[in-house]
Amino acid sequence: MDLSFTPSEREFRAEVRAWLAANVPPEPLPSFDTAEGFRRHQDWEALLADAGWSVITWPTEYGGRDASLMEWLVFEEEYYRAGAPARVSQNGIFLLAPSLLEFGTEEQKRRFLPPMGRGEEIWAQGWSEPEAGSDLANIRSRAERVTGGWRLTGQKIWSSRAAFGHWLFGIFRTDPDSRRHRGLTYFLVPLDAPGVTVRGIPQLDGLPGFAEVFFDDVFVPDDQVLGEVGRGWYVAMSTTGSERGLTLRSPGRFLATADRLAALVSDLGDGAAPTLRDRAAQAWIDADAYRLYTFHTESRMRAGAQIGAESSANKIFWSELDRALHRIALDLLGTRGTLTAQAPDAAEYGRWLDGFLFALAGPIYGGTNEIQRNIIAERVLGLPKEA
Amino acid sequence: MDLSFTPSEREFRAEVRAWLAANVPPEPLPSFDTAEGFRRHQDWEALLADAGWSVITWPTEYGGRDASLMEWLVFEEEYYRAGAPARVSQNGIFLLAPSLLEFGTEEQKRRFLPPMGRGEEIWAQGWSEPEAGSDLANIRSRAERVTGGWRLTGQKIWSSRAAFGHWLFGIFRTDPDSRRHRGLTYFLVPLDAPGVTVRGIPQLDGLPGFAEVFFDDVFVPDDQVLGEVGRGWYVAMSTTGSERGLTLRSPGRFLATADRLAALVSDLGDGAAPTLRDRAAQAWIDADAYRLYTFHTESRMRAGAQIGAESSANKIFWSELDRALHRIALDLLGTRGTLTAQAPDAAEYGRWLDGFLFALAGPIYGGTNEIQRNIIAERVLGLPKEA
Amino acid sequence: MDFSFTVEQHDFAAAVAELLRTHCTPEHVRATKSGFDRDRWKRLADIGMASVCVPEPHGGLGGDDLDLLLAVEECGSAALPEPVVESTTAATALGAAMESGARDGGHADHAVLLARAAEGDALLTVSAPTDPYVAAADHAAALLLEREGAWYVVDRDRAALTPQPSVDAPRTLFTVEWDSDGGTLIARGEAARAMSAAVLNRGALLSGAYLLGAARRLIEMSVSYAKDRIQFGRPIGSFQAVKHHLADAFVAVEFARPQVWRAGYSLTSGAATADRDVSAAKASASAAAERAAAVALQVHGAIGYTHESDLHLWLTKVWALSRAWGNAEWHRGRVASSLIDQRLTARLP
Amino acid sequence: MDFSFTVEQHDFAAAVAELLRTHCTPEHVRATKSGFDRDRWKRLADIGMASVCVPEPHGGLGGDDLDLLLAVEECGSAALPEPVVESTTAATALGAAMESGARDGGHADHAVLLARAAEGDALLTVSAPTDPYVAAADHAAALLLEREGAWYVVDRDRAALTPQPSVDAPRTLFTVEWDSDGGTLIARGEAARAMSAAVLNRGALLSGAYLLGAARRLIEMSVSYAKDRIQFGRPIGSFQAVKHHLADAFVAVEFARPQVWRAGYSLTSGAATADRDVSAAKASASAAAERAAAVALQVHGAIGYTHESDLHLWLTKVWALSRAWGNAEWHRGRVASSLIDQRLTARLP
């Protein structure tokens, strides 16, 4: 056991930190769920990409720097520590890219990865449907074989980034007689293709953080199928059990929040109720624990272990941690904690409310925590399936 | 709304308090799960009965004083406040007596109620079986028709008070072809009848708080059947939805514990961590809330309302409250909280550990809290049954 | 001991509920972007909502908090946008000040103001001693404000309001600046301290009652959604996890309700335990409502996050009111102090 | 960064586990009413359990806490009755005192004592700075005790022991009285303060490791029971409520484990964050084990309460050790103080 970073990891961290200190915008960008904010976030992605920080774990030929998982974890810590902008390219670089790298043809990789990494093409995800929320296998959107490609019909929902984005990845039923996980195929679809309609869904804050996407006889050529026809479920899920479980929410995000929370308690001094001080300490411990668990998993992966239910345990842990961190902050701030970022009195505190609202969704998306608990109980502990 | 006690209730409280002050033994009695403790608790029941305090809600003809539910709640508050001995007669007076009063023949009432009320005959309960724990309807012990009565065969388990008690009440399958809740009959069985074998089950503290009871062709005459043959489930359950839901655990018990906890925190002064002070305040609030909820239910019953899922809500609430109260006390006491009552250093603190161990069982017995949550969800909220 | 409301109290709440069913549907709530609909407020006032606690000589019904609790719970169940907590608290405080001031002649302008408030023609609001912001100040004719241990009535036109938008947009919040000569003194010294205590307790009590209604509705909506929504081939309400979450939220609300009622009784009867009882009630109601909100979001999933679903109308109310008038932490601290530092463990009843 | 143990560390833990499978079955644990089985302790010592952290000149292996963590977790998984936490902590402290004392010649008797302890022929114990009782004092040849800022080695025969029976009967506890001339001074002043800190941290660390093993076993037993136990026509382990309780306990244990390992590394490497890291680990391990114990009881139902079931062998260990060496509250307080009062938010690694 040697819990120190290597000299090269330390150098790497110093380099990241220096670049971010010089380049992170002093004022927060407008939300990427607005037209202007979307553009400004794309500009930021371009700046990141120019400096080689956009997609560090990718092969250099597609715009990455072949960074190790540990370097990526370090990068993420520094990124959140610096308060850098949220990644508008997130769906593409974290969810699609691993599948593209594993299952894509060389042409597909060359076509799609570089503009994704530079933030020129922003990807929306197309998993959920109105009747397939947590139960993803219940997909009804279908694709019919036609000359040179497929015709897509149906509807996707909860597509983040679709309101202003350029492409969508998602799975469609190509075998009309198939059920559940079989007979699905993974498609890459331009959102400006004829027959595609995008309708933004306003969230609590009124901004279209999600969209519905309607497909009305949308032609998609064969070279926009990712992986084998009929194996879309496998393509979509194969990366969730590997690094994705580890990379969906890196510890850096929660470490930065935990440190801000500890500072908030310190700053409030006697104005912080002792119980909140205690709850803040527990949340800080938990953020630290999440980091240690991640490093431990990284060590095991380097030693050749496969990641299984760790991603379910991770999901439960970080989503509850995130909710706790923000709830404690709001409890510390009293009525002031309910102000939006626009309120003059909110000052730097407005971010806690936004974070709270976002954190409340944590136990829901990416597979509800109830589903994750079932996975742990059945696949790790070996308890019987429900009758 | 008038939340004051009537003059007669106030007088009643004063009378109870005075009697208890003069009569409660200064030292705690030995556990009633020992032979000597059992006898000493029977003596206490006799003393209570002589003064008319044993079974106050019963009709006077059987040894009660026709007290109202409110008087009983007042009595219980004073009883626990005075630190009076646990009721060794509890199974009989709280679980059997309501059924006996509702379904018993006049002969049965005259035969069984008075010695039960005086603590001369102590009743054990015979609900559970090895294969019927939480799932009570899965009963396999059976009774066969013979001349003048029935022959009982089978096994009961988790019979509290059976190790030293005199009689057992329980349900047996009288229709061998019946399933689940049908074809069961409610029997009253002397534990010294030929063919009955009682085997104590030592608990964590080594004492036989439970017993297994084996029935090997035990003859029970017809006049020891309670209610109709084949309607045993109905007899056993009909009282659970009425007062029993309210009387299984009266608020008095938790109010006394909450007050002791508040005093413990006050006494520890700066030695009590601020978070524990806060948790203690919450637990005290909850004990108070349980009392108010009970008074509210009593008002509704007096106005003619039927009690339904209130007993399930009660069960969840008091069992979690009891566990919280004791856990907070142990957290306050540190290592000292783990000492048994026999330890010289335990002083008055030893009761917290015993109470903690007892409280841990709360979410399990009387229908696990999981079952109670199902009942609330299905019968009150109207959610669909499980597939 | 009688833990029930009078027929009149029930009837009043039923009338309020009936009015809100017609005039405060989710569509109406959405349409009330400013947070105040004069027409609806006037209708509510017509059936007595604004005058219950106003003394009879000033055009009110001379009632007390117990006359209001069930009706305010109905307001919460409808997510009523109008500031029923603050306006009632302000009117009651001004009425009480007038009553004690009556011995010295009172203040003629205030009598007119109070009568107009009772009629629903003028809105009053008040600053909560726990909070730096005044709710609905933009809609109010006058504000009750505290400064350096004294209370004043301040004309809205004499005050400078800075909007402080919050998570519950229709519940408009403001920081208020005003010159002392713009306000009329209504209480100072001991009377002002008593007014601060009364204002805090009444605001906490009524926001607790409102939260009970909002929580009840959140559970009802979630139950209804869970019955209809099919996942994995069955209604999600048949899953134990969903059932148990909802059952726990239900239990929390059911046990908070008698605490709110008892707090109303304590205030009304001037009990020695009133501060502690109000704090227990607000702590429990805030926690129960927060729990119901979290469960409702979890049951609804992503749709609960959208503007299209009605759920957010109640969620935002809960997030705002559970923290206004002292959050659960603050009130639990007040209980701890009474219970442990002052060893006041006597109970009402 | 390498979060793995060496092959030797794994092999040692495997050897301990293998030995315990043969010599520390539930039947053995039940039979060890006194809390100490000399034969088993000697066998453990033979494979190095008592000598890992004893310096080589004194017959030990000169290892560190990291060499012990996996093996102590195995002890917890077997509910080993012998006081592995206290004896190891005492031996390590005495060894360290000898090492620094070696420069002044050391103390010949202590060298013999330490060598015998390393062989498993003499048991050492130590008073935890957080607790008023000394564990296993009746089985010990000598006790390390603190008095007025100095540490002493006290012969058991020179000390008066008053038994203080606890929920975990085999873990014998005592209050100890002794005359100063019955003890030999081993550290005072700064050295004694350092020894107190080291003793507290090591005892908390090792009890944390033991708790991880006990919690793991409680979950295993509960899973196995839930697979077999049929209620309502199906194994109770197929009910979502049971699944989710067990999954939550599992997650708590899995996230506590790297914290315990990191704390071991912090202590071994003398990190500036060692106190805070140890406290985070003990707080998390205590809480995870308490959670596993509560879930295990809930899953087992009434049978978990009986003496006949093996469950209580682990439950009582958890209830005792989660509170010994500082309970979760105490340790969380130490973290809060470091984090908030001293603003020490730097992390290891």
- The tens digit of pLDDT for each residue in B268-299 reads 998 888 899 999 999 999 999 999 999 999 99
Chain A positions touching D224 (Cβ under 8 A) are none
Interface test with D, best of B134, B157, B204 (most D CBs within 10 A): B204
Closest partner residue to C302 among A133, A135, A343, by Cβ? A133
CA B214 to centroid of chain Cα atoms = 23
Task: Give me Rg for the CA atoms of chain D.
Answer: 20
Please tell me the distance in Å from C122's CA to the nearest CA on chain B: 31
Work out whether strand B149-156 and strand A167-173 pair parallel, antiparallel, or are unpaired. unpaired
The CATH class, in words, for A7-117 is mainly alpha
Quote the CA–CA distance of D290 and D215 in Å, as a whole number: 8
Q: Is residue C298 part of a domain?
A: yes
Chains in touch with B (≥3 Cβ pairs < 8 A) = A, C, D
Say if residues B251 and B290 touch (Cβ distance below 8 Å): yes
Q: Within A104-204, where are the H helices?
A: 106-117
- Say what angle helices C189-228 and C240-268 make with each other, to 10 degrees: 160
B-C CB pairs within 8 A amount to 159
User: Is the predicted pLDDT of residue B240 greater than 70, yes or no?
Assistant: no
Residue of D nearest to C238 (CA): D240
Distance between start and end Cα atoms, chain B: 44
* Angstrom distance (rounded) from CA D300 to CA D242: 10
Active-site hit among A45, A77, A121, A243: A243
Confidence of residue D106 (pLDDT cuts 50, 70, 90): low
Q: What is the pLDDT of residue B239?
A: 62
CB C29 within 8 A of CB C107: no
Scan for tokens 């014998």, then name that residue.
D172
Q: Which two tokens stand for residue D272?
A: 């500036």
Distance (Å, whole) CA D88 – CA D197? 15
Instruction: Report which residue type is found at B218.
Output: V
Q: Which CATH superfamily is domain B123-230 in?
A: Butyryl-CoA Dehydrogenase, subunit A, domain 2 (2.40.110.10)
**Cα–Cα distance between C69 and C84 in angstroms, integer?**
11
Confidence of residue A246 (pLDDT cuts 50, 70, 90): low
* Contacting residues of A for C175, CB less than 8 Å apart: 344-345
- Contact call for A383 and D254, based on CB within 8 A: no
pLDDT at C101: 73
At residue C262, the 3 state secondary structure works out as: helix
D256 in Cβ contact with D205 (< 8 Å): no
Which of A148-162, B72-86, B239-253, D102-116 shows the lowest mean pLDDT across its residues?
B239-253
Mean pLDDT of all residues in A325-333: 96
Q: What pLDDT score was predicted for residue B79?
A: 98
- Weakest-pLDDT range from B9-13, B165-169, B230-234, C105-109: C105-109
The pLDDT assigned to B245 comes to 55
User: B206 at the D interface (CB within 8 A)?
Assistant: yes
Strand, helix or coil at B181? coil
The strand ranges marked E within A129-280 are: 142-146, 149-156, 167-173, 184-190, 196-201, 210-221, 225-226
Is the pLDDT at D42 greater than 90, yes or no?
Answer: yes
Chain C residues lying within 8 Å of D240, measured CB to CB: 239-241
pLDDT for residue D137: 98
D167–B134: do the CB atoms touch at under 8 Å? no
Q: Does A295 touch chain D (CB under 8 A)?
A: yes
Q: Are D262 and D348 in contact (CB under 8 A)?
A: yes
Tell me how far apart the alpha carbons of residues A240 and B335 are, in angstroms, rounded to a whole number: 45
Answer whether residue B91 shows pLDDT above 70. yes
Q: What is the spatial distance between Cα B359 and Cα C263, in angstroms, rounded to a whole number?
A: 29
Number of folded domains in chain C?
A: 1
**Token pair 């103001």 is at which residue?**
C113
pLDDT tops 80 at residue D101: no
Q: Touching check for D319 and chain C: CB below 8 Å?
A: no
- Confidence at residue A134, expressed as pLDDT on a 0 to 100 scale: 72
Q: What's the mean pLDDT when you consider all of chain B?
A: 92
Residues 6+ apart with CB under 8 A from A50: none
A167 touches chain D (CB under 8 A): no
Whether B204 and D130 lie within 8 Å, measured CB to CB: no
Cross-chain residue pair D175–B344, CB shorter than 8 Å: yes
Give the C-alpha separation, A203 to A2, whole Å: 46
Q: Is the pLDDT of residue A199 over 80?
A: yes
Instruction: Tell me chain A's radius of gyration from C-alpha atoms.
Output: 21
Residues 6+ apart with CB under 8 A from B323: B356, B359, B360, B362, B363
Coil/strand/helix, residue D332: helix
Regions in chain C scoring below 70 on pLDDT: 102-106
Q: Which neighbouring-strand residues pair with B231?
A: B184
Determine, yes or no, domain membership for C287: yes
Question: What domain range includes position C339?
Answer: 202-347
Say if C101 falls within a structural domain. no
Which residue, among D76, D123, D109, D136, has the nearest Cα to D285 in the 3D structure?
Answer: D76
Report in angstroms the alpha-carbon separations of C235 from B332, C239, D233: 45, 8, 22
Q: What is the model's pLDDT at position A365?
A: 77
Q: Is D119 part of any domain?
A: no
Least confident of A142-151, B11-20, B71-80, B336-345: B336-345
Residues of A in contact with B277 (CB under 8 A): 274
Comparison of pLDDT for D102 and D222, the residue scoring more: D222
Q: What is the pLDDT of residue C232?
A: 84
Measured CA to CA in angstroms, residue D152 lies from B102, D90, D144 at distances of 71, 11, 6
> Using a CB-CB distance cutoff of 8 angstroms, which residues of chain D are in contact with residue B346?
164
Residue A103, Cβ neighbours under 10 Å: how many? Answer: 20
Say if residue C48 is exposed, middle or buried (CB neighbours under 10 Å; 0-12, 13-18, 19+): buried
C339 vs B281, B289, B317: nearest CB: B281
> What does the pLDDT average to over B119-129?
94
Inter-chain contact D324–B340, Cβ cutoff 8 Å?
A: no
Whether residue B348 has pLDDT greater than 90:
no
- Do residue C241 and residue D241 have CB atoms under 8 angstroms apart? yes
Who wins on pLDDT, D206 or D58? D206
CATH number for region A249-380: 1.20.140.10
Give the residue from C236, C238, C239, C240 with the most D CB atoms within 10 Å of its CB, the best one to mutate: C240
Q: What pLDDT does residue C106 have?
A: 60
Cα of C121 to nearest chain B Cα, Å: 31
Give A244's pLDDT tier (boundaries 50, 70, 90).
low
Neighbours of chain C (3+ CB pairs under 8 A): A, B, D
The pLDDT tens digits for A141-191 are 999 999 999 999 999 999 999 999 999 999 999 999 988 889 999 999 999
Which of C222, C293, C224, C221 minimizes the C-alpha distance to C252? C293
Residue C274 lies in a domain: yes
Q: Is B168 in contact with B126 (CB distance < 8 Å)?
A: yes
Q: Which residues pair with B144 in a beta bridge?
A: B151
Nearest to D349 among A4, A372, A378 (CB): A4
- The answer to whether residue D234 neighbours chain C at the CB level (below 8 Å) is no
Which pLDDT value is given to residue A54?
A: 97
B81 lies within 8 A of chain C by CB: no
Question: C225, C299 in Cβ contact below 8 A?
Answer: yes
Q: Would you kindly state where each structural domain of chain A is located, as residue ranges?
A: 7-117, 123-230, 249-380
- D255: in domain: yes
C135 vs C116: CA distance, rounded Å: 19
pLDDT at position C299? 94
How many beta carbons lie within 10 A of that of residue D57, not counting itself?
Answer: 15
Q: Do D239 and C240 touch (CB under 8 A)?
A: yes
Could you please report the per-residue DSSP string of A346-387? GGGGHHHHHHHHHHHTTTTSSS-HHHHHHHIIIIIS-PPPP-
Predicted pLDDT of residue B149: 97
Judged by a CB distance cut-off of 8 A, whether residue C241 touches chain D is yes
Is residue D105 pLDDT above 60, yes or no?
A: no
To the nearest whole number, what is the mean pLDDT of chain A?
92
Catalytic site includes residue A131? no
Q: Residue A31: name the closest of A90, A68, A85 by CA.
A: A85
- Please give the order of strands across the beta sheet that includes C173-178: C134-135, C173-178, C159-163
> Which residues of chain C lie closer than 8 angstroms to A336, CB-CB?
132
* Residue B28 burial (C-beta neighbours within 10 Å; 0-12, 13-18, 19+): middle
Q: What is the mean pLDDT of residues B114-121?
A: 98
B contact test, residue of D162, D329, D330, D334 with most B CBs within 10 A = D329
Contact by Cβ (8 Å): D83, D25 = no
Over range D242-246, report the average pLDDT: 95
Helix (H) or strand (E) holding B214: strand B210-221
pLDDT over 70, % of chain D: 99
Q: E strands within D93-158? A: 124-126, 134-135, 142-147, 150-155
Cα B137 from Cα B128, distance rounded (Å):
9
Q: D4 and A299 in contact by Cβ < 8 A?
A: yes
The alpha-carbon gap from D255 to the nearest alpha carbon of chain B, in Å, equals: 22
Identify the residue whose tokens are 């100063």: D180
In this prediction, residue B366 has a pLDDT band, given cuts at 50, 70 and 90, of: confident
- Bridge-partner residues for A197, per DSSP? A214
Q: Does A166 touch chain C (CB under 8 A)?
A: no
- At residue C342, the 3 state secondary structure works out as coil
C241–D239 CB contact, under 8 Å = no
Q: Of these residues, B243, B298, B310, B348, which one is catalytic?
A: B243
Place B364 in a pLDDT band, splitting at 50, 70 and 90.
Answer: confident
Is the omega angle on the peptide bond into residue D55 within 30 degrees of 0, that is, cis?
Answer: no
**Which residues from D are below 8 Å from A284, CB to CB?**
335, 339, 345
- Does B345 score more than 60 pLDDT? yes
Q: Which residue among D244, D340, D347 places its CB closest to the CB of A266?
A: D340
- At B231 the pLDDT is 94
pLDDT exceeds 60 at position A103: yes
C-beta separation of C147 from C176 below 8 A:
no
- CATH of residue C343: 1.20.140.10
Question: CB of B386 within 8 Å of any CB in chain C?
Answer: yes
Select from A140, A204, A332, A336 the residue whose CB has the most chain C CBs within 10 Å, as the one to mutate to test that interface.
A204
